[in-house]
Amino acid sequence: MNMWHKSTYSPSSGDCVEVREHANGAEMRDTKNRELGALAFDTDQWVTLIASVTR
């Protein structure tokens, strides 16, 4: 999976982030400011982040 996507829980106002998962982790970017780049996470960091926000 190497395509950018946003959560189905994102509001219709457009205030959301997009995520792109890949073999080495994931990247996250702001949908309103894509030109600013993305935050990169290695696999361990990404798993930790997802686990902490889903609690």
Question: Residue 18: what pLDDT?
Answer: 92
| Number of domains, the chain | 1
Give a yes or no: residue 34 inside a domain.
yes
Positive/negative CA dihedral, 2, 8, 14, 17: negative
The model's pTM:
0.77
Can you give the residue range of the structural domain that contains 26?
17-53
Rounded Cα distance between 6 and 18, Å, is 4
Give a yes or no: residue 5 inside a domain.
no
**CA 18 to chain CA mean position, Å:** 5
Give a yes or no: residue 4 inside a domain.
no
Query: Rg of the chain's alpha carbons, rounded to an integer?
Result: 11
pLDDT tens, the chain, 55 aa long: 679 998 777 777 777 889 999 999 999 999 889 999 999 999 999 999 999 988 7
- Torsion angle defined by CA atoms of residues 51, 21, 41 and 7, in that order, rounded to the nearest 10 degrees: -50
